[in-house]
Amino acid sequence: MNLTDSKKKLALAGLVCGLVAACLAYFGNPANMAFCIACFIRDTAGALGLHSTETVQYARPEIIGLVLGAFLISAATKEYRSTAGSSPMVRFVLGMILAIGSLVFLGCPLRMIIRMSAGDLNAWVALIGFILGVGTGVIALKKGFSLGRAHLTNRMSGGVMPVLMLGILVLALATTLLKSSQSGPGSMHAPIALSLIGGLIFGAFAQKSRMCFAGSIRDVILMRNFDLLTIIGSFFVVMLIYNVATGNFNLAFNTPGVIAHSEHLWNILGMYAVGFAAVLAGGCPLRQLILAGQGSSDSAMTVIGMFIGAALAHNLGLAASATALNPETQEITAGSVPLNGKAAVIICIAVCFIIGFLNKRSENK
Amino acid sequence: MRKKVLKLVVTFHTTADAMAMEKACKEAEVPGRLIPVPREISAGCGLAWCAPLSEREKLLVVMAEHGIEQEDLHECMLL
């Protein structure tokens, strides 16, 4: 089935992915997190012991499912292509930026849409930064930015990331080696089987539809093409209906329990870095997982960069804290971005400019 | 309502090559436009150059003159 030959079918892909996210939120994933690539990679990195923040450690089956879903559907439909060789270490750094920027905002672009659908005005503010970041990436593209071409490589190479994900799943199911949060967001999750199936379905539909949050805005700015935005639009509508129907819609800035903060400048700059890096890397965090699943070792490097970036965000105190409600005093404690996080975002943006405007097409010839 | 017609679609190894193609074609006044790579061609999310079938020879000349390497040439039904 070709999901991309009409906008109706693209909308259907977004609808299915929205239903998966709504279902996972209903069955236990953290409030308005539902399906966040950066948060779930951070949790999985914690489960593997890459960081020691005890409240965010859990091997999220959704991440495993996304990669395996994309791998299985691409193999089944003969779209699996093992490729590599397009500036892997630069992509690793871009992966780190994707994770750090996301954890300063407290969510990847996918979660930004989910938060927007729940009325979280901080996410609407962050959208400004994300669009500006994608726009800056488009300027870099127009100036000749390139990381060089990828080449076909040994078939085994592209399969490494799916196998590693399978390995994490086996460790999670058959051993007690992985860490698992007893409180906090890491302790909140849907049943493992449901999360895995949800990830597989989401991964398959994202692979077929080429769902990408950065790509959708890139295509509108660059070509006035709204195909990818159609998917995001229908995803947003499904989540909006879910949030209104379940009483989770709250149009406000200070929203304790949502895992968000209201430092507007840093919400904007965090997502600016993510949007910029995503265009340079050729896709948002979700898209990187899908590309890694369908055989791209370059995207697999970006995914590994996201794991390390997420771990560093907690080990070095870069990640923002969320606005919280003290259950005893009923006082709201405002979430904030630590000084280290602010410095990291500035560095991330500077690195994006260096990568974006010093890697020229002519240098690859 | 616009109908789909058979068009020439040039795919490239990198997005930068597609951007260079747009610039070169504008300079040479060869008609065409950037489009997302049609899904039936690739699972990737790069850019392609879409032009009328009649422009095939001119496009090849432009690419040769500017050192733009194509990945492939396709004929697709597009709007």
What is the bridge-based pairing of β-strands B47-52 and B70-78? unpaired
CA-to-CA distance for A105 and A113, rounded, in angstroms? 13
Return the ∠ at Cα B13 (arms to B10 and B19), rounded to 5°. 65
Q: What is the pLDDT of residues A7-45, one digit of tens each?
A: 888 999 999 999 999 999 999 998 678 899 999 999 999
Could you tell me the pLDDT band of residue A254, with boundaries at 50, 70 and 90? confident
pLDDT higher than threshold 50 for residue A356:
yes
pLDDT higher than threshold 70 for residue A46:
yes
Q: Which residue has the higher pLDDT, A339 or A4?
A: A339
Q: What is the pLDDT of residues A78-128, one digit of tens each?
A: 999 999 999 999 999 999 999 999 999 999 999 999 999 999 999 999 999
The token pair at A45 is 């990195």
Pick A212's closest partner by Cβ from B35, B39, B45. B45
Over residues A47-61, the mean pLDDT reads 97
Sequence spans of domains, chain B = 5-78
Q: Residue A302: which of A278, A267, A321 has the closest Cα? A: A278
Place of tokens 């340079």: A280
* pLDDT of the residue at A4: 66
pLDDT higher than threshold 90 for residue B9:
yes
Q: What is the mean pLDDT of chain B?
A: 93
- The superfamily (CATH) of domain B5-78 is ACT domain (3.30.70.260)
Pick A145's closest partner by Cβ from B13, B16, B40. B16
**Contact (CB<8Å) A79/B43:** yes
* Residue A155 contacts B where some CB pair is shorter than 8 Å: no
Instruction: Work out the percent of chain A whose per-residue pLDDT is above 90.
Output: 87
* pLDDT of the residue at A1: 60
Q: What is the pLDDT of residues A305-320, one digit of tens each?
A: 999 999 999 999 999 9
Eight-state DSSP code of residue A175: -
The token pair at A315 is 């080990």
Lowest mean pLDDT among A79-83, A134-138, A158-162, A249-253: A249-253
pLDDT higher than threshold 50 for residue A363:
no
pLDDT higher than threshold 70 for residue A6:
yes
The CA dihedral of A229, A14, B36, A68, to the nearest 10 degrees, is 140
CA-to-CA distance for A211 and A231, rounded, in angstroms? 7
Q: 3-state SS string over chain B?
A: CCCCEEEEEEEECCHHHHHHHHHHHHHHCCCCEEEECCCCCCCCCCEEEEEEHHHHHHHHHHHHHHCCCEEEEEEEEEC
A327-348 b/e (C-beta count within 10 Å ≥ 16 → b): eeeeeeeebbbbeebbebbeeb
The distance of B57 to chain A (nearest Cα, Å) reads: 24
Q: Which residue of A has its CA nearest to B77?
A: A5
Q: Which residue of A has its CA nearest to B44?
A: A210
* Residue A363 contacts B where some CB pair is shorter than 8 Å: no
pLDDT higher than threshold 50 for residue A221:
yes
**pTM, whole model, 2 decimals?**
0.95
Quote the radius of gyration of chain B (alpha carbons, Å).
Answer: 12
Q: Which residue of B has its CA nearest to A152?
A: B13
What is the bridge-based pairing of β-strands B70-78 and A332-333? unpaired
Instruction: Work out the percent of chain A whose per-residue pLDDT is above 70.
Output: 98
The distance of B50 to chain A (nearest Cα, Å) reads: 12
pLDDT higher than threshold 50 for residue A364:
no
Sequence spans of domains, chain A = 7-363
Q: Is the dihedral of CA B19, B7, B5, A204 positive or negative?
A: negative
Q: Residue A141: which of B68, B64, B48, B17 has the closest Cα? A: B17
pLDDT higher than threshold 90 for residue A5:
no
